[in-house]
């Protein structure tokens, strides 16, 4: 402001600076009178699910517009009277520990919170106004998905979607944790879980995968859920004998039916399936003989004397026995040799 005045001789002027000092003459008010939010079952304590906002037209740089939020009352007061927490400075609303552990949409699907906003940083001489927040409780799709059974050696094409999870609340990011080779399982932004390579039951026959849900800032939103993957067996292992050759001795006077030796092959496939059911067969004898001298039991692998007597036979025979699993996909040939004295 420029002020001038004239005396008899001189004209004089000076400047007067006028400061308008803020006075706390504005009451803070909620931007929306009735506010709505929804909280999902499973949300952890302290993770905001909504935010209340208020305005105060006084100078923001003074306490006149320094706002504080207060949760006055919750109705109904079940199962606890302190289900919710409001951050007094930011206005973010979250669950208390009690709220997070007892929230139940079937017991109470809607709460009304009466909230207050005060200026003067909430001091006694503050202006204030109040508002109502309606909170809907929603059930959540965030639950452990059903176990998945996958056959080993699936032909693909990969990746193969195997399951899906969804956090139905605010923005969420998913990740997987568990004992499996990196990138064997992955999860998309939409929560679809993929298998990226063929499984081998003989290496690992089941997986326990934890699915983690986080906010974009890395804070966990809810407890992880679990996906169990069981690997079904394919008959991809042939029976094998623990040793390539067996040696034994047969007495010349052995009678028919005398047990000479038991051969036993092993099969790495699932013992609960036919893929490990082994049949034994005698497929060769050197030197040959006009009558059958030996036999092998198809199921037990017991080799016994088939002839009435071993008199007049050669001093040594080499028998060839095969072990074959039930489907015969890989009939494994192994030699069995024994000496006859
Ligand atoms: Ca004010
Ligand atoms: Ca396998
Ligand atoms: Ca097998
Ligand atoms: Ca197998």
Q: How far is the CA of 330 from the centre of ligand 4 (A)?
A: 12
Instruction: List CB contacts of 242: < 8 A, sequence separation 6 or more.
Output: 264, 265, 266
Higher pLDDT among residues 166 and 255, named by residue: 166
Whole-number Å distance, alpha carbon 111 to ligand 4 midpoint, is 55
CB 70 within 8 A of CB 86: yes
71 C-alpha vs ligand 1 centroid, how far in Å? 19
- Cβ-based burial of 221 (10 A; exposed 0-12, middle 13-18, buried ≥19): buried
Q: How far is the CA of 280 from the centre of ligand 3 (A)?
A: 14
What is the CA(55)–ligand 1 centre distance, in A?
9
How far is residue 75 from each of residues 4, 71, 83, 113, measured CA to CA in Å? 66, 12, 10, 6
Q: Distance, CA 233 to ligand 4 centroid (Å)? A: 5
Give the number of the ligand closest to the Cα of residue 239.
3
Which protein residues have their CB within 5 A of the ion that is ligand 4? 201, 233, 236, 269
245-340 has the same fold as 29-138: yes
The ligand placed nearest to the CA atom of residue 54 is: 1
Residue 287 has what pLDDT? Answer: 85
Top-confidence residue, 18 or 120: 120
Mean of the per-residue pLDDT values for the chain? Answer: 88
Q: How far is the CA of 197 from the centre of ligand 3 (A)?
A: 22
In this prediction, residue 212 has a pLDDT band, given cuts at 50, 70 and 90, of very high
From 85-99, 176-190, 254-268, the region with the lowest mean pLDDT:
254-268
Ligand 2 center from residue 266 Cα (angstroms): 15
Q: Give CA–CA dist 109/196, Å, rounded.
A: 41
- 332: pLDDT strictly greater than 50: no
CA of 335 to the centre of ligand 2 (A): 25
Asked if pLDDT for residue 13 goes beyond 80, the answer is no
* CATH class name, domain 29-138: mainly beta
β-pairing, 92-95 with 29-30?
unpaired
**CATH, range 148-232:** 2.60.40.60
Give the ligand at the shortest distance from the Cα of 203.
2
Q: Which residue has the higher pLDDT, 84 or 286?
A: 84
| Per-residue confidence band for 2, with pLDDT thresholds at 50, 70 and 90 | low
**More confident position, 97 or 32:** 97
- How far, in Å, CA of 101 to CA of 82, rounded? 12
Mean pLDDT confidence for 108-127 = 94
Residue 255 pLDDT > 90:
no
CA-nearest of 119, 166, 178 to 138 is 166
pLDDT at 3 over 80: no
Q: From ligand 1's centre to the CA of 16, what distance in Å? A: 28
Among all bound ligands, the one having the nearest atom to the CA of 199 is 2
CA atoms within 13 A on the CB side of 317: 25
Please write the tens of the pLDDT for every residue from 265-293: 889 999 998 888 888 988 888 888 888 88
pLDDT > 70: percent of the chain: 92
Place of tokens 């004898």: 285
What pLDDT sits at residue 93?
97
CB atoms within 10 A of CB 283: 12
Determine the distance separating the centroid of ligand 3 and the alpha carbon of 331, expressed in angstroms: 9
SS3 of the chain: the string is: CEEEEECCCCEEEEECCCCCCCCCCCCCEECCCEEEEEEECCECCCCCCEECCEECCCCCCCHHHCCEEEEEEEECCCCCCCCEEECCCCCEEEECHHHHHHCCCCCCCEEEEEEEEECHHHCCCCCEEEEEEEEEEECCCCCCCCCEEEECCCCCCCCEEEEECCCCCCCCEEEEEECCCCCCEEECCCCEEEECCCCCCCCCCEEEEEEEEECCCCCEEEEEEEEEEEEECCCCCCCECCCCCCCCEECCCCCCCCEEEECCCECCCCCCCHHHCEEEEEEEEECCCCCCCEEECCCCCEEEECCCCCCCCCCEEEEEEEEEECCCCCCEEEEEEEEEC
Check pLDDT > 70 for residue 329.
no
Which sequence spans correspond to the domains of the chain? 29-138, 148-232, 245-340
Who wins on pLDDT, 98 or 316?
A: 98
Q: How far is the CA of 268 from the centre of ligand 3 (A)?
A: 7
Span of 141-145, 175-179, 230-234 with lowest mean pLDDT? 141-145
pLDDT at 317 > cutoff 90: no
With a pLDDT cut of 90, the percent of the chain lying above it is 56
**What is the distance between the alpha carbons of residues 220 and 226, in angstroms, rounded to a whole number?**
15
Dist. CA 149 → ligand 2 center (Å): 15
How many angstroms is it from 98 CA to the middle of ligand 1?
Answer: 34
Specify whether domain 245-340 bears CATH 3.50.40.10.
Answer: no
Question: Which ligand lies nearest to the CA atom of residue 277 in the structure?
Answer: 3
93 Cα to the center of ligand 1, angstroms: 23
Q: What is the pLDDT of residue 341?
A: 43
Residue 338 in this model has a pLDDT that exceeds 70: no
Q: Using 50, 70 and 90 to split pLDDT, how confident is the model at 331?
A: very low
Q: Which of 79-83, 213-217, 272-276 has the weakest average pLDDT?
A: 272-276
* Dihedral of the alpha carbons of 282, 284, 285, 289, in degrees to the nearest 10: 90
């Amino acid at each position: 402001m420029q002020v001038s005045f004239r005396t008899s001789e001189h004209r004089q002027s000076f400047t007067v600076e006028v400061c308008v000092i803020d006075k706390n003459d504005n009451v803070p008010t909620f931007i929306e009178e009735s506010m709505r939010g929804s909280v999902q079952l499973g949300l952890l304590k302290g993770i905001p699910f909504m935010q209340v906002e208020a305005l105060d037209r006084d100078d923001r740089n003074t306490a006149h517009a320094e706002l504080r939020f207060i949760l006055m009352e919750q109705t109904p007061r079940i199962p606890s009277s302190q289900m919710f927490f409001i951050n007094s400075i930011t206005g973010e609303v979250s669950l208390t520990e009690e709220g997070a552990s007892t929230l139940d949409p079937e017991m109470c699907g809607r709460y009304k919170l009466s909230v207050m906003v005060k200026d003067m940083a909430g001091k006694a001489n503050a202006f204030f106004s109040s508002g109502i927040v309606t909170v809907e409780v929603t059930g959540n799709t965030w639950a452990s998905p059903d176990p998945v059974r996958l056959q080993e050696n699936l032909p693909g094409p990969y990746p193969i979607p195997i399951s899906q999870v969804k956090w139905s609340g605010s923005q969420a990011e998913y990740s997987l944790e568990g004992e499996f080779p990196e990138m064997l399982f992955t999860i998309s932004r939409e929560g679809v879980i993929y298998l990226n390579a063929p499984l081998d039951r003989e290496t690992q026959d089941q997986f326990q995968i934890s699915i983690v849900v986080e906010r974009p800032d890395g804070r966990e939103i809810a407890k992880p859920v679990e996906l169990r993957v069981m690997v079904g067996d394919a008959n991809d292992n042939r029976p094998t004998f623990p040793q390539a050759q067996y040696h034994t001795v047969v007495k010349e006077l052995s009678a028919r039916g005398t047990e000479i030796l038991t051969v036993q092959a092993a099969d790495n496939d699932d013992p609960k399936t036919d893929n490990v059911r082994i049949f034994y067969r005698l497929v060769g004898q050197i030197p040959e003989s006009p009558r059958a001298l030996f036999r092998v039991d198809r199921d037990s692998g017991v080799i016994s004397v088939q002839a009435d007597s071993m008199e007049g036979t050669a001093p040594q025979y080499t028998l060839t026995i095969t072990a074959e699993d039930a489907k015969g996909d890989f009939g494994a040939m192994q030699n069995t040799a024994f000496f006859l004295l």
